[in-house]
Structure 1
Amino acid sequence: MKKHLALLTLACLAATAVNAEGLPEKVKTAGKVIVANQPNYPPMEYKDPATNTLTGVDIDLGLALAKQLGTTVEWADIGFEQMISSLTTGRVDLIHSGMSDLPKRRDTLDFVDYMKSGAQFYTSFARKDEFKTLTDFCGKTIGMSRRTSFPDETAKWSATNCEAAGKPAIVVVGTEGSADARAQLKQGRLDAAVQGSETLPYLLTLEKDTYAVVGEPFTAVYQGIAFAKKDTELRDAYASALQALMASGEYKTIFAKYGLEGTLLDGIYINGEAVK
């Protein structure tokens, strides 16, 4: 099945790489794509505090992809927990908002992957010397957004690396978002927190001597642009546009602007599978 998808997608990419005719009639008629995005995850998407305008990696990449396809973007500010239902019911055309390409989401969605990511432990700068290795977090209270895959991933990591070694389990605290986790960390209600590795370089720059990253990411996932299963035409048009941005160097330029060159992919991936 995966091989068939890859072959099909490769054919579609070849057909759409020359022009934007791969766009669905609905999008061509509207002259825009409606994109679900919640701007609360810097540097992926956020509002510039000085101008209140949308900015970030996903915003820049989303606009560049639309331009490549000869269309425009209408950003729809939708809560993360409502994004998938908004897509499957047709309220939006796609999701581009720091969403991980997870196997359980592929039952209803297809993903065009565009960057590498991972769950990352961090603590307060004042307590950095307490946590030299990841297993130092065993038995500690750690917060992370309940809307993400991080609570399940952290619990699984704890079972393998803490409980299995006879150490106390991590106490996983689901928060209202990454900002809430950081606030609780500052208040001393948490020992540490978890969020996407791609967000932490920006955070450390924004709030110097406030947080400290510990170790390497303990998961490895792709972030992807999500499409409804039925919208293969739009999915493949976006994959073609991303391929063009990679070839021109604009893809790398966008990520370099935010210091995220290390998250770049080496080619086109659909649902985690390389298209060759």
Structure 2
Amino acid sequence: MNIRRNLLLASLAAVFALGAAAARAQDNVLRVATDATFPPMEFVENGKRTGFDVELVEAVAKSMGKQVEWVDIDFKGLIPGLISRRFDMAVSGIYITDERKKVVDFTEPYYAGGLVAMVKEGNTTIRKPADLDGKKISVQVGTKSVAFLTQNYPKAQRVEVEKNQEMFNLVDIGRADAAVTGKPAAYQYVRTRPGLRVIEEQLTTEEYGMALRKDTPELTRAVNAALAKLKADGTYAAIVKKWFSGSAATTAATPAAK
């Protein structure tokens, strides 16, 4: 009887030890969701996830002593997935907005951007933001662009697509007069696709933040502390320099006021 009891106790101890080890391992993992279709922020190249956001998150996690476990998801599912605890954080060129702040928390802004319009080089009907009204505009589902156009350009015809690339392609082939998207993605695209241009006057000036659940304030504080450390030791500036140049780098280093 004693032998059987001792074996049972030993088995239970082993189970508890394994459970504790698994819990410790999980504590060292930061599950981060992204929609890797938004170069230069996040995209897939040669089968590997890369980009400004990706490299910055990896550096943040390293500073926190954690490993990143990436979760790929469409942009429109980022906030709902975060709220439902599918992951710990969402980072995918997400603008900090009052509407989003009602349901999730954000880190301190880590990059300044804003919405811009992209058109074909020969387009003479759209020279300034006001010209967008009454035009056919492609936008990505779930992004700030959708609400912005609805509120500010009610006569514009929205063409909503799932992926950033689809949005740009519609302009390229003439099925949309313009695309409205984040400044980094628009400038990245026109650099690689001659014949397209970005309207010089921005539609908005906004800031990107990393989204976290409201019930994990300690994690938000830890990520903010890691970001501050990266800015202080030069790591952040090096990542910015790698992914952006000229005025973009200056903008990133000194975020614009909201």
TM-score (norm 1): 0.77
How many residue pairs get aligned? The number is: 231
Partners in 1 of 2:26 and 2:129 — Cα distance?
52
In structure 2, relative to structure 1, the CA distance for the partners of 1:45 and 1:136 (3 Å cut) is same
Deviation at 1:248, TM superposition (A): 1.1
Matching of residue 35 in structure 1 with residue 32 in structure 2: yes
Q: Who is 2:132 aligned against? A: 137
Matched, 1:198 2:184: yes
Cα offsets for 1:139-193 (capped at 9, x unmatched): 221111122110221232325xxxxxxxxx3222222232112121122111111
* Uncovered stretches (5+) of structure 1, i.e. residues with no partner: 1-25, 160-168
Asked whether the 8 Å contact 1:175–1:181 carries over to 2, the reply is: yes
**Poorly superposed stretches of 4+, deviation over 4 Å:** 26-29
Task: Output the amino acid matched with 1:149.
Answer: K
Q: Give the residue type in structure 1 aligned to 2:35.
A: Q
Q: Which runs of 5+ in 2 are unaligned?
A: 1-22
Provide the secondary structure at the position in 2 that maps to 1:91: coil
Deviation at 1:27, TM superposition (A): 7.5
- Confirm or deny that 1:158 pairs with 2:144: no
Cross-structure match for 1:246 = 231
* Matched residue SS, 2:62: helix
Aligned to 2:16: none
Partner of 1:263: 251
- Aligned residue for 1:102? 97
Q: Which has the larger radius of gyration?
A: 2
8 Å CA contact retained: 1:123, 1:213: yes
CA distance in 2, matches of 1:191, 1:85: 31
SS at match of 2:210: strand
The CA distance in 2 between the partners of 1:27 and 1:80, in whole Å, is: 30
- DSSP-derived class of the 1:189 partner: coil
Higher RCO (C-alpha 8 Å, min separation 6): 1
Does the 8 Å CA contact 2:138/2:176 hold for their aligned counterparts?
yes
CA separation of 1:90 and 1:134: change in aligned 2, threshold 3 A:
closer
Counterpart CA distance in 1 for 2:153 and 2:64 is 44
- CA shift at 1:265, angstroms? 5.1
